[in-house]
Amino acid sequence: MMRKILVIGAGKSTSYLLDYLLGKAEEEKLEITIGDINPSAIPATVAGHKHCSVIGLDIFNKTERTNAIANADIVISMLPARFHIKVAEDCVVHKKHLVTASYVSPELLALDEKVKQNGLVFMNEIGLDPGLDHMSAMEVIDRIRDKGGKIILFESFCGGLVAPEHDNNLWNYKFTWNPRNVVLAGQGGTAKFIQEGTYKYIPYHRLFRRTEFFEIEGYGRFEGYANRDSLGYREAYRLQNALTLYRGTMRRVGFSKAWNMFIQLGATDDTYTIENSEKMSYREFINLFLPYSPTDSVELKLRHYLKLDQDDIRWDKLLELNIFDHTKFINIPNATPAQALQKILEDSWTLKAEEKDMIVMYHKFGYELNGEKKQIDSKLVVIGENQTFTAMAKTVGLPVAMAALKILNGKITTPGVQIPISKEVYKPILEELKTYGVKFKEYEVPYLGYNPNSVIN
């Protein structure tokens, strides 16, 4: 008897997910249904597979949504996070398991008791970050604890970047996931973490000027800035007694200092709309934030505003983005500054068809064992194949697909709304991921405590 998997949403992160499930369809007796608002956009190689069917699915159409969910054995939602709750509520009603790559929302967590009562698994945060970071961290943390060790420091960083062979712009960056999330990164709250037993807080306007630096063997130097809330997983990871707990985002060195220019300018603001933005040129957009002058050019005003010398590399980075072009237009009605900036950046930072991306993840574990302080560094690098089969899609999609199949096969059975921090979940998935080249390298190094290369400017 065929088992039915419903995948809702077929965006950029689903290429490997669908490839994995369709590749297993014959031996595992799977029928995959893809429900998407734009079914014509599904590649023919996927839509034409004998174990695949594609349906038009508007998540706001209750009849379409409930019919599709009722007809499935398990549901994978790859929708934007804010839409998962509609799918989740239907999964409870129709008693279907659910898998997502998104953070657990308070609304989703409120369903936990009903999910448990129905014996359902609602697995969330099982993509890359969150997801692979949880699993790889807990694998090491549990191993240290099983030896009698006590975790005193945990730092974790992850970044979606461009592969070295296609790293051909001054920012050393191209979009490998939702560009809007990149533009809005760090907004919505003060970053908080704990360092050497002291709570630390970084407001948004200082976030990108307070970074840590580290080396990834074979790939050079990187920097990391703090995520909004590093303490959110203190309970889940059972790290209440850790002296340092810090989670962050990785970029190539120099990105954060340059990105801070847009923050100081006000170009990342998403709280208001711009009049006449549709017909506004890139040059006019930048000029919005600068003082009026009857004589000074936009370029000169911006240099004065940001205190940039002509030989500052950040000035070259701005020029490279064509932000002073008067022939290119925003073409978005009632755009917020953040939306307009995103449009400008997409011109320069979109991966070309043949270009490859890169995922980098770095964990640092400090622990005490037999009265001695020790440290393990764990590092991961994954290189994509092209614009479609990206490292981002691989590290997001494969864990989702593997979890769904293991739930379907009764290998993951603990019910409830959860994240992948138990051995039942992370052990088999991490082991299988190794066969796809997603494998961490571990290094035992002298214990350093907090990063001595951390800087505040």
- pLDDT of 13 > 90? The answer is no
What tens digit of pLDDT does each residue of 375-412 get? 999 999 999 999 889 999 999 999 999 999 999 999 99
415 contacts: CB under 8 Å, gap ≥ 6: 115, 116, 118, 119, 120, 121
Which range (199-213, 286-300, 440-454) has the least confidence?
A: 440-454
Q: How far apart are CA 375 and CA 368, in angstroms?
A: 9
Is residue 187 within 8 Å of 205, Cβ to Cβ? Answer: no
Is residue 67 within 8 Å of 42, Cβ to Cβ? Answer: no
Q: Predicted confidence band at 452 (pLDDT cuts at 50, 70, 90)?
A: very low
- pLDDT of 450 > 80? The answer is no
Would you state the pLDDT for residue 440?
Answer: 96
Would you state the pLDDT for residue 456?
Answer: 40
Would you state the pLDDT for residue 271?
Answer: 94
Q: Nearest to residue 340, comparing CAs of 400, 265, 403, 429? A: 265
The highest-confidence range among 79-88, 118-127, 207-216, 444-453, by mean pLDDT, is 118-127
**Average pLDDT for 273-286:** 96
Would you state the pLDDT for residue 189?
Answer: 80
- pLDDT of 81 > 90? The answer is no
- Give the single-character DSSP code of 351: P
Would you state the pLDDT for residue 28?
Answer: 95
What tens digit of pLDDT does each residue of 180-207 get? 989 998 887 899 999 999 999 999 999 9
Would you state the pLDDT for residue 40?
Answer: 85
- pLDDT of 453 > 80? The answer is no
Amino acid at 418: Q
Would you state the pLDDT for residue 310?
Answer: 82
Q: What residue ranges in 12-82 does DSSP mark as E strands? A: 30-36, 52-56, 74-77
What tens digit of pLDDT does each residue of 29-68 get? 999 999 998 888 888 888 899 999 999 989 899 999 999 9
pLDDT over 90, % of the chain: 84
What tens digit of pLDDT does each residue of 220-247 get? 999 999 998 889 889 999 999 999 999 9
- pLDDT of 455 > 60? The answer is no
Q: How far apart are CA 86 and CA 35, in angstroms?
A: 14
For the chain, give me the number of helices (H) and strands (E)?
Answer: 16, 17
Is residue 402 within 8 Å of 435, Cβ to Cβ? Answer: no
Domains defined for the chain, CATH in brackets? 3-123 (3.40.50.720), 132-255+353-389+437-456 (3.30.360.10), 259-349 (1.10.1870)
Amino acid at 281: S
- pLDDT of 161 > 50? The answer is yes
Which range (95-99, 182-186, 339-343, 362-366) has the least confidence?
A: 182-186
206 contacts: CB under 8 Å, gap ≥ 6: none
- pLDDT of 451 > 70? The answer is no
- pLDDT of 135 > 50? The answer is yes
Kindly provide the b/e burial profile for residues 441-455, where b requires at least 16 CB atoms within 10 angstroms of the residue's own CB. Answer: eeeeeebeebbeeee
Q: How far apart are CA 270 and CA 180, in angstroms?
A: 10
Would you state the pLDDT for residue 338?
Answer: 97
Provide the angle, in degrees to the nearest 10, between the axes of the packed helices 255-265 and 313-320.
70
Q: How far apart are CA 233 and CA 251, in angstroms?
A: 23
Is residue 193 within 8 Å of 212, Cβ to Cβ? Answer: no
- Alpha-helical runs (H) found in 29-117: 44-47, 62-70, 84-94, 106-109, 112-117
Would you state the pLDDT for residue 313?
Answer: 96
